[in-house]
Structure 1
Amino acid sequence: MKKTMFHLVMATGTFIFCAPYASAKTFTESLQQGSVVKVSFRTRYEDVSEEGLKDSDALTTRSRLSYQSGAWNGLGFSAEFDDVTELTGDVDYRTAPSGDLNNPGTAIIADPEGTEVNQAFVSYTTTNNQLKYGRQRLILDNARFIGNVGWRQNEQTYDGVSWVNKTTDVINFAYAYINNVNRVFGDDNPIQGDHKHNSHLFNVSYSGFNAGKLIAYTYLLDVENPTVAKSASSDTLGVRWQGAASQTFLYNLEYAQQTKAGAAGEFEADYFLAEGTLNLSPFAFTLGYELLGSDEGLYGFSTPLATMHAFQGWADKFLATPVAGLEDKYINVGVTAAGAQILVSYHQFDSDKGALDYGNEIDFSVSRKFGPVVLMAKYADFSMGKVAAFKDTKKFWLMADWSF
């Protein structure tokens, strides 16, 4: 289980004691009416080959049980339980870059076994507001800064309070206070497991423009774990524009600046994104440039709470930004054929400072839905450049995902 059931107990207690008085029958019936129970399974085979390490493979299944109550005077309760099991009964791979002393010298597959409370929160919903207290999933914008790392079997969730306000149809305001991050590496990992936080997240968007949507955000991260580098704490202020030049051409522009927070040393780094997508059915072409800047080669722009697998290639070579920064020039080609979604992607990786060639990567995926089941095959091939730290890596996945 997660380290503690504190938030589950507190959420349930708050739900009961803060609610107005009503008969047990009325209270119970209100919760039962509209309640939803869901069961889902995700079985995946993953094979990793990385130069200098022993090859790894894993056959895992994530079983998920989700419950959402009905509403009573705007109050509700949700809970979600996950179990991750290695089906061969032999976890012969490393599950984290540090903190896992088993299987040294093997390639990492970040899917540890375990049974955990993935979510457990009380919610209060009105016409324009939703407040959540407890363990919850947080995804802001495209998850580049705040995400749930949904690709891994053990999802990243957050303990704290969140508030979403939609007073008008075109303005959306979101705030969250985080005191703990339940990371994908599991509770048993002493270094890469849960991270204690005292962090505040602000995100506001305005969609009243005909040409697109404007987003501004401030993410004040204060990580309190003694085993975590001080540079993981940072203040990030940014603005994002999601534009549509026509029905067939979409584009994104984004800029952010990151500075020190808490006890972290002095640093300042920039983030920049320029991306355009041309939709010519059944094809979609995306050309993009993303920069995670460097502060004079001493610090690289960091996004420790992002869904990082969705960015900078599926081989996950840059989960931590190099101190020299990172430029990612990429092109994606997607097509829908015979009911299947096919995507091919190419990335060229270079440093922001020092003109370093990190390497390049080719990614490929195909997925198709058959009733309640989604089948996927996925491949990533990273080729080393001039920096020895980023070695040749190949990854392959077969996955079946179904819900009831």
Structure 2
Amino acid sequence: MVKSLLFISLITLPCSAGTPAADIPEPTPPWLSFSLESRLRYEMRNEQGLDNSHALTLRARPGLQIGRDTGFSAFIQSEHTLALIDDYQVGTPQSARFDPYVPGNTVIGDPENNELNQLYLQYHSDSLLLRAGRQRLILDNASMIGNVGWRQNEQTLDAALVSYTSGPLTVQYAYANRVNRIFGNDATGAVQALEGDVHLLNAAWKIGKHSVHGYIYLMDFSEQQFARASNNTYGAFTDLNFDHGSYHLEVAAQNESGQQPDYTALYGHVNFSKKSGDYTFVTGVEYLEQDFVTPLATVHAFNGFADVFINDRLGLTGGPAQWNGLTDVYAGISTQAPYDIKLSATAHAFFDDELDDFYGWEIDAVAVKQIAENTKLIAKFAQFFANDDTAFANDVSQFSLQLDFTY
């Protein structure tokens, strides 16, 4: 009866005389906009010598923008991560500080956390972007500078950014004095944040379907425990797109910075992709000479989803490198399956930087289903088969299933 009365009142409301205009909700002002980035994920990780880990985590990032997309505006975003299944450990020298903490389990780097994720002021016009404050910064393909978007708590910078576009040319410069890492407020010191001086200069020139890019990244961190993360990197790459396929050709050189001893190291990445019918094929080689580090990269997107080499590539081991560099030879295939499911699989073979030592090989697979405009389901699997005669002697299996929603 109550439901019937409620329904009648709702359908007759527009016909009611004398309803004050103030009773009608006003639309949200155009200068005020809300956003939400949420993710529910189950993740399982198995590694030889450790107990299996299981995590079911829920992450939400509510945000508020004051101002329009052009002109002056302000943005604030918080970040909240909750462990619904907490049979894992975060895996840092401070693991016991985090919740959850299950000693002897494999590492899943998603601690429970509540923090300020982004807070900045900006000015944006057709050609100029000025931004100051805590912010997400992703440059190029995130192999050098990224937000570690795979983990629930993302990496941000306390920085000032200038980005200028004129025709085919885009130039960006950022200065940061703090890198907010993925471990949140329960961490301390350099596990929570890397402080120092970070200068990031990036330029891109579009030439028809092709582009040429250059970058200079100078990092001097004050934390002596992670001195290996300090570096000066100078690089360039080109993306070439032809009817027969696309090429990515990149080279970079790196030397010491801050408290680092003298060193020089090279980086290279060659990639070719080709679409044939319903399939896209890709093959490539990524090379990191010993001592080359990428401490601000989204490393999960490179060198296999099992993340076997992540600490050495980041340079955040707090001690000598485990590897003698890395040569990642990979090949993959992707296609659109029935029910609009995107499928991809990639095989990796990992060697040292002189091709003398074989670290192991890995198979990765991903399935993505766009459920609605703002909602998608992602399943991932990775299996690393180790060579027992190297520092990376443990097999690793990893599976995840996640639901992403954005508003």
Settle same-fold status: TM greater than 0.5: yes
Structure 1 spans left out of the alignment, 5+ residues: 1-30, 295-299
Q: 1:112–1:273: structure 2 CA closer, same or farther, 3 Å change rule?
A: same
CA distance in 1, matches of 2:55, 2:262: 41
What is the rounded CA distance, in whole Å, between the counterparts of 1:164 and 1:217 in structure 2? Answer: 14
Q: Deviations over 1:149-201 (max 9, x none)?
A: 111000111111011001x2200000011111111122322352211121100
Equivalent position of 2:145 in the other structure: 146
CA distance in 2, matches of 1:73, 1:266: 46
Instruction: Name the structure 1 match of 2:397.
Output: 394
Match of 2:72 among 72, 75, 84: 75
Q: How many residue pairs end up in the alignment?
A: 363
Distance 1:162 1:304 in 2: 19
Aligned equivalent of 1:95: 90
Contact 1:32–1:70 (CA under 8 A) maintained in structure 2: no
Residue in 2 aligned with 1:194?
Answer: 193
Query: In structure 2, what is the equivalent of residue 225 of structure 1?
Result: 223
SS at match of 2:221: coil
What is residue 364 of structure 1 aligned with on the other side? Answer: 365
- Pick from 271, 283, 301 the counterpart of residue 267 of structure 2: 271
Match of 1:58 among 55, 60, 63: 55
Q: 1:329 aligns to what?
A: 329
Deviates more, 1:105-114 or 1:119-128: 119-128
1:210 shift after superposition: 3.5
Contact map agreement 2:323 2:391 (CA 8 A) in 1: no
Q: Which region of structure 1 is more displaced relative to structure 2, 35-44 or 133-142? A: 35-44
C-alpha displacement at 1:79, in angstroms?
A: 1.1
- Contact 1:317 1:390 (8 Å CA) reproduced: no
Give SS of 1:222's match: strand
Matches of 1:172 and 1:350, distance apart in 2: 36
Quote the residue 1:310 is aligned against. 301
The whole-number CA distance in structure 1 between the counterparts of 2:56 and 2:391 is 30
- What is the TM-score when the length of structure 2 is the normalising length? 0.86
| Structure 1 segment 25-64 matched on structure 2, within 5 A | 32-64=29-61
2:358 matches 1:375:
no
Residues 355, 104 of structure 1: CA spacing in aligned structure 2 closer, same or farther, 3 A cutoff? same
Alignment correspondent of 1:256: 252
| Residue-by-residue CA offset, 1:22-53 (whole Å, 9 max, x unaligned) | xxxxxxxxx94332202232100000000011
* Backbone CA RMSD of aligned residues: 1.7
SS at match of 2:88: coil
Structure 2, unpaired ranges of 5+: 1-27, 314-321
Range that drifts further, 69-78 or 116-125:
69-78
Are the counterparts in 2 of residues 187 and 194 from structure 1 also a CA contact under 8 Å?
Answer: no
Say which is worse superposed, 123-132 or 54-63, in terms of deviation.
123-132
Following superposition, the deviation at residue 281 of structure 1 comes to 3.4
Larger radius of gyration: 2
1:118 maps to 117
Offset from partner CA, 1:330-389 (integer Å, 9 cap, x none): 001000122011010100000014711110000011110111321111100000013143
After superposition, give the CA deviation of every residue in 1:85-133 in whole Å (9 maximum; x if it has no partner): 0114xx3322133221243321000000011111110001233110110
Question: What is residue 15 of structure 2 aligned with on the other side?
Answer: none
Distance 1:212 1:85, change over 3 A: same
Letter in 1 for 2:64: Y
**1:140 Cα deviation after fit:** 0.3
1:403 aligns with 2:406: yes
Q: Which residue of 2 aligns with 1:237?
A: 234
Q: Classify the secondary structure of the residue corresponding to 1:227.
A: helix
Is the Cα contact below 8 Å between 1:53 and 1:107 reproduced in 2? Answer: yes
Please give the TM-score of this superposition, normalised by the length of structure 1: 0.86
Question: Which residue does 2:202 correspond to in 1?
Answer: 203
State how far apart, in whole Å, the 1-side matches of 2:250 and 2:225 are: 32
Equivalents in 2 of 1:303, 1:81: separation in Å?
A: 27
State how far apart, in whole Å, the 1-side matches of 2:69 and 2:187 are.
39
Aligned to 1:292: 288
Q: Which residue of 1 aligns with 2:11?
A: none
Q: Which residue of 1 aligns with 2:161?
A: 162
Check 1:160–1:75 CA distance in 2 against 1; reply closer, same or farther (3 A cut): same
The aligned amino acid for 2:87 is: D
What's the counterpart of residue 280 of structure 1?
A: 276
Cα deviation per residue 1:230-263 (whole Å; 9 max; x = unaligned)?
22100000011111122x5111000000000112
Identity, in percent, stands at 34
Structure 1 73/231 Cα, relative in aligned 2: closer, same or farther at 3 Å? closer
| Pair 1:73–1:144, CA change in 2 (3 A) | closer
CA distance in 2, matches of 1:72, 1:83: 25
